Amino acid sequence: GQNIDQPTEMTATEGAIVQINCTYQTSGFNGLFWYQQHAGEAPTFLSYNVLDGLEEKGRFSSFLSRSKGYSYLLLKELQMKDSASYLCAVRVRDSNYQLIWGAGTKLIIKP
Amino acid sequence: ETGVTQSPTHLIKTRGQQVTLRCSSQSGHNTVSWYQQALGQGPQFIFQYYREEENGRGNFPPRFSGLQFPNYSSELNVNALELDDSALYLCASSLKDSAETQYFGPGTRLLVL
C-alpha cells in the first residue's frame, strides 16, 4: 500500500531552525512535494524534489533520499507567520501521477 | 494567488441533498484534480480530469462525480450527502505533465447537517 508519515505537531521558537521529517512507502515514486497550509486556507506550494539531495529556496530547504524513502523540510530564521501545517505529498507514477498526501505536521512558533 | 478560483466558499446542506462545487483552473492549465480534506487530515484524492475525461479516481463512491468543460473549468457533484461529507473541498490545476506542480484554489467548505 501507499503510506506517508509525518509528525503530528512540532513546536519551535521564533528565529530558530526546525526540521520536519517525512517518510514514505509508495510504488512508482515520481517526485515529492512540500506544501504549507494555514488554518482554513488552501495548501500553497513550497518545494519539489525528484532527485536525491538538497533544494534550497530562501529560508526553506528540502532534502530527498529516494533509497531511504525519506525527505525533510528545513525552515530557518523562523517567523511567527510560519505557524501552519506542512504537508508532504508523493507523486506516484503507477497511479496516473496522483499525489498521495501525509496528514501534515502542525508547526507552532513561540516568541 | 494561484489563479485558481472556487465557488462557493462556504456551503451548508442537509443529509440526502445534492451539491455542485465549481472550479476555474489557472490560465493554460488543462488538468484539474479534486480533493477532500477533513479537519486535521491531509487531502484525499477524489478524481482528476484531463481534457474533459476522468483521468484517475481515488477511493470515493460513485455518488461523487465530476465534469470538465472545454475551457478546462470543472465541477464536483456529490449526491445523497452524508454527515461525513463535511470537509474542505479543494481543486488543483496543473498541466498534464509528470513534472508539473499542482496549484490549489481557496477551497469550498461544506457542512452537512
Residue pLDDT, tens place only, A22-78: 999 988 888 999 999 998 888 999 999 999 999 998 999 999 999 999 999 999 999
Contacts of A103 in chain B (CB under 8 A): 40-42
Q: Does B48 touch chain A (CB under 8 A)?
A: yes
Kindly give the residue spans of alpha helices, DSSP state H, lying in B1-113.
none
Specify the pLDDT at position B5: 94
Give the residue from B5, B60, B91, B101 with the most A CB atoms within 10 Å of its CB, the best one to mutate: B101
Residue from the list B44, B98, B109 with its beta carbon closest to the beta carbon of A97: B98
Do the chains contact at B107 and A42, CB–CB below 8 Å? Answer: yes
Give the residue from B6, B37, B47 with the most A CB atoms within 10 Å of its CB, the best one to mutate: B37
Residues 6+ apart with CB under 8 A from B7: B21, B22, B108
**A82: three-class secondary structure by DSSP:** helix
Alpha-carbon distances, residue A21 vs A5, A11, A42, A70, A102 (angstroms): 8, 14, 21, 7, 11
Specify the pLDDT at position B56: 86
**B21: three-class secondary structure by DSSP:** strand
Nearest partner of A30 among A53, A51, A9, judged by Cα: A51
- In degrees and rounded to multiples of 5, residue B4 shows phi and psi of -95, 125
Specify the pLDDT at position B1: 67
Distance from C-alpha of A33 to C-alpha of B94, rounded to nearest angstrom: 14
> Grid coordinates standing for B61?
463512491
> Grid coordinates standing for B19?
451539491
Distance from C-alpha of A90 to C-alpha of A67, rounded to nearest angstrom: 14
Do the chains contact at B55 and A96, CB–CB below 8 Å? Answer: yes
Residues 6+ apart with CB under 8 A from B58: A98, B44, B45, B46, B47
Fill in the DSSP letter of residue A12: E
Specify the pLDDT at position A96: 66
Rg of chain B over Cα atoms, rounded to whole angstroms, equals 13
How many of the other CB atoms lie within 10 Å of CB of A85?
22
pLDDT exceeds 70 at position A95 = no
Q: Does A33 touch chain B (CB under 8 A)?
A: yes
Specify the pLDDT at position B101: 82
Give the residue from A98, A100, A105 with the most B CB atoms within 10 Å of its CB, the best one to mutate: A98
Residue from the list B41, B56, B88 with its beta carbon closest to the beta carbon of A98: B56
Specify the pLDDT at position A79: 97
